[in-house]
Amino acid sequence: MKVVECNGLTKAYLKKEALKGLTFSLEDHKITGLIGRNGAGKTTLLKLIAGFTKETSGEIKVFGERPFNSLSVSANSIFVDDQMSFPPALQLAELLEEAARFYHNFDSGLAKRLFDYFGFKADGYHNRLSKGKTSIFNGIIGIASRCPLTIFDEPTTGMDESARKDFYRALLKDYIAHPRSIILSSHHIDEIEDLLEDVLLLKEGKQLLHEPVSELKEWAHGIKGPSEKVLKASEGHDILYRQLTGADTLYAAVRDFSGTLLDAAAGAGLEVTPVRVSDLFIYLTNETKGGIDDVFSQN
């Protein structure tokens, strides 16, 4: 079953298009990563899916319905980010009780265990939490609510490394026990790579790719050696990134279009290495093929 379906989805703020004709669908019971550079349109897309804002043109359906102002979409989804607002008069323990009344599937036992593990005090207040603790608390609500569609927009903002690891581990364990549809946007791709099944990559409001993570691991290869040999072996393929690593040593991340790259590289005695998914995203979303080095090589 498809949880989210978009067809030519566009969102403009005044005249500026933040999303430009997205067409994709997300299957039920998967964790999908929404990846993109700052300003790529991730939050805009997540807010459209949650029904918080209205599309400008094209079509969006969530559980088969247009999400904007849809009671059924809001009853079956949760949007977690660092801006979530809660009634300021209620203490943290009371917020958990309210969440349990609001979300049908809320697991109060799990919420309380996570609450204690992360060192929250029952009589604390949400608006007095630090940035990282705010994200952890919101994440607890997001996990424990077990909504059929759970949307996390950069959920680990402000969390330290160990909290981020714990958060993602808790999310994965609960997802395995209670599969549901989860969309996760994050800049820490390394940390979520093993969690994700599919990735939707946005660049400047456009959809660059929508693929299973397993396939992205095979997408490109790094080849390294004398510049001339690297360029010769790369002929007919797409060089995603290149960097001089010595006087005449070139590293290139190359997308193998015809299945001949590895043979050509081996024949030329070049070093071949895998390209990490997180690096692949950086290369695909860079404006230039040399990244920040290009800024310094142009004077």
Ligand X SMILES: Nc1ncnc2c1ncn2[C@@H]1O[C@H](COP(=O)(O)OP(=O)(O)OP(=O)(O)O)[C@@H](O)[C@H]1O
Q: Give me the least distance between CB of 202 and ligand X, in Å please.
A: 7
Taking the least distance from each CB to ligand X, the nearer of 18 and 184 is 18
Sign of the four-CA dihedral 284, 18, 3, 140:
positive
Q: Give me the least distance between CB of 197 and ligand X, in Å please.
A: 21
Taking the least distance from each CB to ligand X, the nearer of 50 and 253 is 50
Taking the least distance from each CB to ligand X, the nearer of 33 and 41 is 41
- By CB under 6 A, residue 203 contacts ligand X: no
Q: How many residues bind ligand X (CB under 6 A)?
A: 10
The alpha helices in 146-292, defined as continuous H runs, are 161-177, 189-192, 213-216, 227-233, 261-267, 277-285
Q: What does the alpha-carbon distance between residue 221 and residue 191 come to, in Å, rounded to a whole number?
A: 21
With tokens 């759970």, the residue in question is: 150
Taking each helix axis from N to C terminus, what angle separates 108-117 and 131-145, rounded to the nearest 10 degrees? 160
Taking CB under 6 A as the criterion, which residues in 44-73 touch ligand X?
44
Q: What does the alpha-carbon distance between residue 200 and residue 25 come to, in Å, rounded to a whole number?
A: 10
Q: Give me the least distance between CB of 158 and ligand X, in Å please.
A: 14
Q: Give me the least distance between CB of 215 and ligand X, in Å please.
A: 23
Taking the least distance from each CB to ligand X, the nearer of 208 and 272 is 208
Q: Give me the least distance between CB of 42 and ligand X, in Å please.
A: 4
User: x/- site string to ligand X, residues 28 to 47, per CB under 6 A?
Assistant: --------x-xxxxxxx---
Which pair of tokens denotes residue 286? 């860079």
- By CB under 6 A, residue 18 contacts ligand X: yes
Which pair of tokens denotes residue 194? 């093993």
Q: Give me the least distance between CB of 126 and ligand X, in Å please.
A: 22
Q: Give me the least distance between CB of 244 and ligand X, in Å please.
A: 30
- By CB under 6 A, residue 155 contacts ligand X: no
Taking the least distance from each CB to ligand X, the nearer of 46 and 216 is 46
Helix (H) or strand (E) holding 61: strand 57-62
Residue 56 near residue 207, CB atoms below 8 Å: no
Taking the least distance from each CB to ligand X, the nearer of 249 and 286 is 286
Query: Of 219, 225, 238, nearest to 277 (Cα)?
Result: 219
Q: Which residues pair with 31 in a beta bridge?
A: 182
- By CB under 6 A, residue 13 contacts ligand X: yes
Q: What does the alpha-carbon distance between residue 119 and residue 249 come to, in Å, rounded to a whole number?
A: 51
- By CB under 6 A, residue 156 contacts ligand X: no
Taking the least distance from each CB to ligand X, the nearer of 13 and 117 is 13
Q: Give me the least distance between CB of 297 and ligand X, in Å please.
A: 27
Task: List, in order, residues 6 or more apart from 235 with CB less than 8 Å away.
Answer: none
Taking the least distance from each CB to ligand X, the nearer of 44 and 234 is 44
Q: What does the alpha-carbon distance between residue 230 and residue 241 come to, in Å, rounded to a whole number?
A: 12
Given the rule CB under 6 A, which residues bind ligand X? 13, 18, 36, 38-44
